[in-house]
Amino acid sequence: MTVIASVARQSPDVIRHRLEIAASTIASVARQSPDVIRHRLEIAASTIKAFVRVAAEAGMKHIVLLSGRGEKGAERAEDILKASGLAWNIVRASWLPR
pLDDT of 4 above 60: no
User: In the prediction, which pLDDT does 2 show?
Assistant: 44
Residue 62 banded pLDDT, cuts 50, 70, 90: very high
Q: Which one has a higher pLDDT value, 92 or 23?
A: 92
Distance CA 43, CA 94 (A): 24
Distance CA 18, CA 74 (A): 17
Q: What is the pTM of this model?
A: 0.59
**C-alpha pair distances (Å), 36 with each of 33, 69, 73:** 5, 21, 13
Tell me the domain boundaries of the chain.
2-95
| DSSP symbols for 27-73 | HHGGGS-HHHHHHHHHHHHHHHHHHHHHHHHTT--EEEEEE-SS-HH
Neighbours of 51 (CB within 10 A): 22
